[in-house]
């Protein structure tokens, strides 16, 4: 979810990035993106697929802070530990709900 990275949390929390990969090899075979700046983010995803990169490659890459590209690392780490990813997404969802609730009261 966009809200899992700093830029998404601050500017636009509505959106998601999903990596599709082969479980046996970890090779990324597709990228799904919905949300703000998806048209800009997909180009990196195309490079990842074209160059046959793996979940581990992406998880170990360094991404600039305060960019949506950080979501690639977050998504890759989520693929490596789905249980922890579900907990993280649930916590982010609760925080967003609370944030929206508080802003509607003001």
46 to 10, 27, 42, 51, 100: CA distances (angstroms): 26, 13, 6, 8, 34
Whether 55 has a pLDDT exceeding 80, the answer reads: yes
pLDDT tens-digit series, residues 7-51: 666 666 678 889 999 999 999 999 999 888 888 889 999 999 999
Whichever domain contains 35, its CATH number is 3.30.390.30
Q: Give the chain's domain count.
A: 1
Higher pLDDT, 68 or 55: 55
- pLDDT (mean) for 68-93: 80
Residue 20 domain boundaries: 2-105
Tell me the backbone φ, ψ of residue 72, rounded to 5 degrees.
-60, -45
Give the per-residue pLDDT at 22.
96
């Amino acid at each position: 979810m966009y809200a899992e990275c700093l830029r998404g949390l601050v500017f636009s929390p509505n959106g998601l990035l999903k990596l599709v990969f082969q479980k046996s090899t970890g090779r990324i075979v597709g990228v799904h993106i919905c949300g703000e700046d998806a048209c800009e983010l997909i180009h990196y995803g195309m490079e990842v697929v074209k160059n046959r990169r793996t979940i581990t490659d992406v998880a170990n890459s360094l991404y600039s802070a305060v960019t949506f590209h950080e979501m690639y690392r977050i998504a890759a780490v989520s693929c490596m530990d789905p249980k922890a990813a579900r907990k993280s997404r649930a916590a982010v969802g609760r925080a967003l709900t609370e944030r929206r609730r508080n802003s509607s009261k003001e």
